[in-house]
Structure 1
């Protein structure tokens, strides 16, 4: 029985390897797209924002790897930045999914999204939080710029509302959280030195 099953699997694999898709690409209606962005500014700003989210994810991943090293051994900071990297990657994915939903996931977007080589240098936990706060501030300003640009384009009001309600709220909340963490850690290190960072890491 097992030999027969294996023979069927092999036959299916051979047949599958020989099959090729000969279907022509269908001519799809374009009326559903319903977007007017003749100069392409809104779409370009969205592409830049996707790239920024991917870059931020890579930076946070590098920070997480730094704190995961055995000679650093700050598991709280490592987990915090692993989580931040996942969130930024999810943001980029959401933006890509939105463009797909609106029929705007074109070559102009996908061909220019690329990974960057990150050069992250972190001196301490406080330094990492400070860099993260600066990065999140840049991301927030970039989102606001996307909103400002897309407000001028007809039929992009849904995107503007979506970015304002979902992304800006999370960005502003995240910035406040980072600022609070940085303030607490700075005070703990001022009063307790390196032990302050160790204790703060345990809280994370």
Structure 2
């Protein structure tokens, strides 16, 4: 086994350094284990794009609050973390499709190369938190739509994907609802601080986020 592993490694290195195309014969694995229906698959693929859109938006937020003229490191930390979490969600969905044998074609079209972020400026931390809460609510709604399409596919198959529905409900929706509550709490705290201390309240809240 160790000899085979070493041999494979050197074979890959030789192909990479010499520019040769190393190909293997395609496998002939039975397809009977693949049972996801097309509407469900397409919904999951679309959700991967939604997660990446949210990730890019949070990256823009993190970059905005990192600017020297804004200088809110606490907010930047919060949104950069959120960007990583959304990216992890996309990876989870990709891995799920791989597990179900459904990520075998059109992989290059899975993520759009150009992702539009409609807003790259937020006038305050309050505005950013409100935008983030709206974003999470939108993503939650889209996840529920994926579950609906997998519970009631419109292809006439009548196949109910219990496993995917349970996975999205127990893992994704649980995290979404907790995240929404956390953002709502932060927004409430910030509004109270700013109501009492004005712009100093945002400065104090930013330090708290650190």
- Measured against the shorter chain, the TM-score band is 0.7 to 0.9
Contact 1:140 1:171 (8 Å CA) reproduced: yes
2:173 matches 1:173: no
Aligned mate of 1:61, from 54, 59, 62: 59
Contact 1:47 1:109 (8 Å CA) reproduced: no
Aligned mate of 1:70, from 56, 65, 68: 68
Structure 1 residue matching 2:35: 3-state secondary structure: coil
Q: Following TM superposition, by how much is the alpha carbon of 1:128 offset from its aligned partner in structure 2, in angstroms? A: 0.2
Structure 1 residue matching 2:122: 3-state secondary structure: coil
- Partner of residue 195, structure 1: 200
Cα gap change, 1:14 to 1:87, in 2 (>3 Å):
closer
Alignment of 1:1-204 (within 5 A): 16-17=17-18, 19-35=20-36, 37=37, 40-108=38-106, 110-114=108-112, 115-120=114-119, 121-153=121-153, 154=159, 156-204=161-209
Q: In the aligned structure 1, how far is the partner of 2:75 from the partner of 2:66?
A: 8
Name stretches of at least 5 consecutive residues in structure 2 with no aligned partner: 1-12, 154-158
TM (norm. structure 2) is 0.85
Q: Following TM superposition, by how much is the alpha carbon of 1:117 offset from its aligned partner in structure 2, in angstroms? A: 2.8
Q: In the aligned structure 2, how far is the partner of 1:64 from the partner of 1:87?
A: 13
Q: Which has the larger radius of gyration?
A: 1
4+ residue runs over 2 A deviation: 12-16, 106-110
Q: In the aligned structure 1, how far is the partner of 2:204 from the partner of 2:103?
A: 46
Name stretches of at least 5 consecutive residues in structure 1 with no aligned partner: 1-11
Structure 2 residue matching 1:88: 3-state secondary structure: helix
Q: Following TM superposition, by how much is the alpha carbon of 1:137 offset from its aligned partner in structure 2, in angstroms? A: 0.2
Q: In the aligned structure 2, how far is the partner of 1:47 from the partner of 1:20?
A: 30
RMSD of the alignment, in Å?
2.0
| Equivalent residue pairs, number | 191
Q: Following TM superposition, by how much is the alpha carbon of 1:28 offset from its aligned partner in structure 2, in angstroms? A: 1.8
Cα gap change, 1:108 to 1:157, in 2 (>3 Å):
farther
Cα gap change, 1:186 to 1:80, in 2 (>3 Å):
same
